[in-house]
Amino acid sequence: MKVNEGSTDRYLRIGLSLFLFALALMTSGLLSTILWVLGTVALITGLSGFCLVYRLLGMNTCKR
């Protein structure tokens, strides 16, 4: 996987994931599950620097 996210993008995704995890802890049921899944996806893409949607759209936020 080739990195296609810049550092700002990655930091924002990690921050978003933490926010979603906090919201998931305050809710229950299906909404909590959805927030956990979205938070996990945001965290994985933020840590790996690769976003499949960016690749499909031909986007790249890396400064090279």
pLDDT at 64 over 80: no
CA distance 50 to 33: 23
The residue type at 30: L
- Is the distance from CB of 3 to CB of 54 less than 8 angstroms? no
- Is the distance from CB of 49 to CB of 3 less than 8 angstroms? yes
Q: pTM value?
A: 0.89
Q: H/E element holding 28? A: none
State the average pLDDT over residues 29-40.
Answer: 98
pLDDT in tens, 42-63: 999 999 999 999 999 999 999 8
What pLDDT shows up at residue 41? 98
- Is the distance from CB of 14 to CB of 43 less than 8 angstroms? yes
State the average pLDDT over residues 4-18.
Answer: 96
Return the beta strands (E) in 1-64 as ranges: none
What pLDDT shows up at residue 1? 81
**Domain limits, the chain:** 7-57
